[in-house]
Structure 1
Amino acid sequence: MAVHEVQMPQLGETVAEATVVAWLKRPGDEVAVQEPLLEVSSDKVDTEVPSTIAGVVKRLLVDEGQTVGIGTVLAEIETAVGATPAPAGNGSAELRASRAPSELVSPLVRRLVAEHGLDLEELKAYAGGERLSRKVIERFLAERPTTPAPAPVPAEADRAPVEAAAPVEAAAPVEAAAPVEASGEFVPYTRIRARTAEHMVRSAHTSPHVLTVIEVDFERVARLRRERKEEFARRHGAPLTFLAFVATATARTLRDAPRLNAQVADGGVRLHRDVHLGIAVDLDAEGLIVPVIREADRLRLPAIASAIAERAARARAGDLRPDDVTGGTFTISSQGPYGTLLTGAIINQPQVAILSVDGIRKRPVVIEHEGQDLVVARHTGVLGLSWDHRALGGVEAARFLAALRDRIEGTDWAAEID
C-alpha cells in the first residue's frame, strides 16, 4: 500500500489560509475519486474538497474548526501502489449540482443551524429559493428580532425583609464629569473585507499606479439596448448591460495586446495566451470578490452577459467554487449603474492593469455634419485604465484604450446578438 497526502487546496489567488469546517470521511472510511472528503471555508469561498484518489482514509491531521495555510497536509489516504491522483477539477461542484435541492444543505450550514437552534424549513422560506449558505444564515440572524427575556420576579415568600434605610447626610458636591465623546457604533471588518483591505494596501504599495482615461461614444450600443434588451433577457435569461458590451470588446482587444493580458513575475512579466477575464463583484459591507470568466475572448456577447450575471449571483450567495476566483489575467470594475464619472481602480495583483467602467449617459457632444459643427445629445462614457508602470508604458496603455474604444464604437453588435 502507498500513502497519499491530502493538502489544503488553493482557494483563490490572494487566499493564504482556510478553515476545516467539517470532515465528511473518518479514518477507516473508503473514499472514491472526486468524492467529497471535507468542507473548508476561506474569505472567498465555502466549498467541499473532493478526493483526487481512491483509497481508505488513514489519518486526519487537522481538526474541525482549525485554520491552516494553503498547502498544509490535512489527511492521509492509503491507496494501491502505483495509483496516481486525478487532476483537481469541478467534481464536487458537479456532484452538488446533481443533488436534489433538499440535499444542497452543506455540513457548514447544518452546523450553523444546530449551533443557533434554527429551524431549517424557516430558513429555506426566508432564503426564498436562494441556496442556503453561511451568508444567508448570518443575514437571517442579523435581521431576526431578539427580545430579551424578562428577569424572574421572586415570590413573596422568597423575598428577604428590607430594613429601613438609615438617614444619610447630604452628599458633597461632585464635579461635573468630562464631556463624553458622541456615541457611535464600531463595526469590525468581516474576513472578506479585511482580506480585501490587505490586498488593496499591498497593491498600492507594490505597483506604481498610473491612470489613463478615454471617452467612448456608446450611442449605437445604447440604441441597440433600448430596442433589444427585453427580447435578449427572454432569450438568454440575462440583462443586456453596458458592462456586457465592454467586457466582450475588452476580451477581444486583449488578444492583440498581450502586454496588458499579463502578470508581473519575478524579474519580468508573464504574457498569457488565453484571456481569463475577472469581473469585480461588490458584496456591500462584506467586501469585494472577483470571479473569472475563462477564455472570454472566445465567447460571444450573449455568453459573456450570461456569465457575468451568473457569477455575480453566485458571488452574492456565497456559492463560488475555488476555480471561479483563480487564474484571472485582467480585471474589469464597474460603477456605471451609480452614474459615476471616473474611477481610478486599484490593480488586482499580480495583474498589470484593471479597467474601470463608469456612468454612461447622454451628454452634449460636438459633431460635424455637412461642414457644420453641431451640438447633439449622445450616450458617452469614460473608461479608465489603471496600469502598472513597471510593466507598461504610457503609449501601450493609450494604444490599448484607443483600440478598445474603436471596437466598442465600430462592432456590428446587432449581428452579435442575432
Structure 2
Amino acid sequence: MSMDIIMPQLGESIAEGTVVKWLVPVGGLIEKDQSLLEVETEKVALEIPSPATGTLSEIIVQEGETVPVGTRLARIESTPLSEVINRVGGVVVRPTEPTPEGHHSPVVRELARKHGVDLSQVTGTGSGGRVTKKDIQDVIARSGAPVTGAPSSGERSMGEEIVPFTQMRRTIAERMVRSRQTSAHVTTFFEADCAGIAKFREGRNLTYLPFVIRAVTRAIREVPVVNSAWGEQGIIVKKDIHVGIATALEDGLLVPVVRHADRKGLTQLAKEVADLAERARSKKLSPEEVQGGTFTITNHGGFGSLFSTPIIHQPQVAILGVGAIQKRAVVINEAIAIRPMGYLSLSFDHRVIDGATADQFMAKVKGYLEQSQWEHIL
C-alpha cells in the first residue's frame, strides 16, 4: 500500500515551502514519526516526520525546490520491499539503476552547459541517481570542481565561491528591506547598571536575558503603545504581551515567541527561552511558535557587541537590542566605581512612537533592570 507525502500547511499564512534535505534515501526504510525531510518556509525551518512505517519508494520534489502547499513530495510504500540487500548509515536501502546517459532535465542540461559542467562526472542525488539542479549548483560552488569547456563570461574566478541562497536567507533579505521601506526607523540608546542582577545571579543558573524580558514586559504595561502595530484605521494596541526572541541559526535567524511573557517568573522565562532556542537550532519548532509576537528582543551582545540598531520585526513597532554586559568605570555618588554595565538600544517606528515616548519606555526598562530586589519574581 502506497502513501503520498505532501507539502504540509505550515501555518495559516504559508503558501509554499522548500525541500531543504531528504533525510532518508530512495529505498530506505523509515519508521513512523522518524524525521523524513527538512522543510523551510518564510517563517520556520523544521523536520517533517514520516506518517507511517515503510519504504521511501520515490522522491518527487528534489532538494532546493520550492513548491506550493499540498504538492506531492514523495511516496512511501507502507509494506517494506523484500529485495533489501545492504545497509548504509543504519538505513536499509535497495539498489538503484544508474541514470541513463543524457536522461537529464532541460534545466539541468542548460545550467551544466552554461557553466561548463561535465554531467558524466556528476554524482546525482535525485531519485534513481538522477542529477538535480542542486547537484549542478553544488559543483559550481565548489572550488576546483571538475569542469570542461571554456568558462562563460559570467563565471566566477577560482578565487571566489558562490553560496546559493537558501529560502530562509531570501526571506530574511526580503523582510529586512521591506521593514526599512515600511517603518520610519529611529534608534535610541540607554545604559543600565546590572550590578543588582549580577549579585542576584550568583549561585543561580540564570542568564541576563530573563531579567531583560521581565523588565520589558513591566515597562510595556506602563507604555502600552510600544506593544502595538500599524493598522489601516489606526494604531492597533495589543493587549497580550508575546515577546519574540531573535535566535541565530547556522544559516539564518528565527524569532520564536514567548507567549504571555508578562505572566511568567524568571525561572520559567529562562527555561522557555532555552527550550525555544534549542528547538529552533534543531529544527523542531512548530510554525505557531514563531508567529504572533508583539515585541522583539535581540541579544546581540552574545559575541561581545556593544551597540546595535536592529531592524523592526514587522508588523511590530519596536525591537530592543541588548549589548554585552561588561565591567566599566562609572561615577556613582561623586565617586568612581566598577559596575557591570550594558547598553540597550530601541529601534522604533516613528509613525507610531515619538522620541519622548520611546525614551520614557526605555527609562522604565532601565529602572526595572537596576532594581535590587528580584526574589519576588523568581
TM score, norm. by length of structure 1:
0.59
Residue 303 of structure 2 is matched in structure 1 by: 338
Of the three residues 382, 391, 401, the one matched with 2:343 is 382
Counting matched residue pairs gives: 276
Larger fraction in helix: 1
Q: Which residue of 2 aligns with 1:311?
A: 276
SS in 2 for 1:396: helix
Correspondence for 2:367 among 406, 414, 418: 406
| Closer, same or farther: CA 50–322 of 1 in aligned 2, 3 Å | farther
- Which position in structure 1 is the counterpart of 2:177? 201
- Equivalent residue for 1:258, pick from 204, 224, 238: 224
- 8 Å contact from structure 2 (residues 228, 238) kept in 1: yes
Deviations 1:311-340 (A, max 9, x none): 000011011101110100000000122221
The structure-2 alpha-carbon separation of the partners of 1:189 and 1:20, relative to structure 1 and needing over 3 Å to count, comes to: closer
Question: Which 5+ residue runs of structure 2 have no aligned equivalent?
Answer: 1-5, 21-32, 52-59, 77-86, 93-137, 139-155
Against the structure 1 CA distance between its residues 201 and 299, is the aligned structure 2 distance closer, same or farther, given a 3 Å change threshold? Answer: same
1:41 aligned residue (23, 39, 42): 39
Could you say what secondary structure the match of 1:263 adopts?
Answer: strand
Tell me, in whole angstroms, the C-alpha distance in 1 between the residues paired with 2:18 and 2:191.
45
1:25-36 alignment runs, 5 A limit: none
**Matched position secondary structure for 1:288:** strand
User: How much identity, in percent, do the aligned residues show?
Assistant: 38
3-state secondary structure, aligned to 1:246: helix
SS at 1:344's partner residue? coil
- Conserved? CA contact 2:256–2:276, under 8 Å: yes
Alignment of 1:193-232 (within 5 A): 193-225=169-201, 227-229=202-204
Work out which of the residue numbers 268, 271, 283 in structure 1 matches 2:249: 283
Give the distance between the partners of 2:362 and 2:37, measured in 1 at CA.
43
Query: 1:364: which partner in 2?
Result: 329
Matched ranges for 1:137-156 at <5 A: none
- CA shift, 1:271, in A, is 1.0
CA distance in 2, matches of 1:337, 1:326: 24
> 1-side partners of 2:346 and 2:12: how far apart?
24
Shift of 1:302: 0.4
| Equivalent residue, structure 2, for 1:79 | none
The residue correspondences of 1:167-178 to structure 2 (distance < 5 A) are none
Give secondary structure in 2 for the equivalent of 1:328. coil
Residue matched to 1:249: 215
Instruction: Work out the CA distance in 1 between the residues paired with 2:49 and 2:357.
Output: 42
Does the 8 Å CA contact 2:257/2:291 hold for their aligned counterparts?
A: yes
Cα RMSD (Å): 3.5
Any gaps of 5 or more consecutive residues in structure 1?
A: 1-5, 22-34, 52-62, 76-106, 108-116, 123-141, 143-179, 234-239
Give the 5 Å matches for 1:32-71. 41-43=39-41, 44-46=44-46, 67-69=66-68
How far 1:414 moved relative to its partner? 3.0
**Distance (whole Å) between structure 1 residues aligned to residue 237 and residue 12 of structure 2:** 20
Contact 1:11 1:42 in 2 (8 A): no
Q: TM-score, normalised by structure 2?
A: 0.65
Residue 48 (structure 1) shift: 5.4
Q: Aligned in 2, Cα 1:68/1:375: closer, same or farther, shift over 3 Å?
A: same
**1:19/1:309 Cα in 2 relative to 1: closer, same or farther (>3 Å)?**
same
Deviations 1:147-193 (A, max 9, x none): xxxxxxxxxxxxxxxxxxxxxxxxxxxxxxxxx96712222222212
1:394 matches 2:360: no
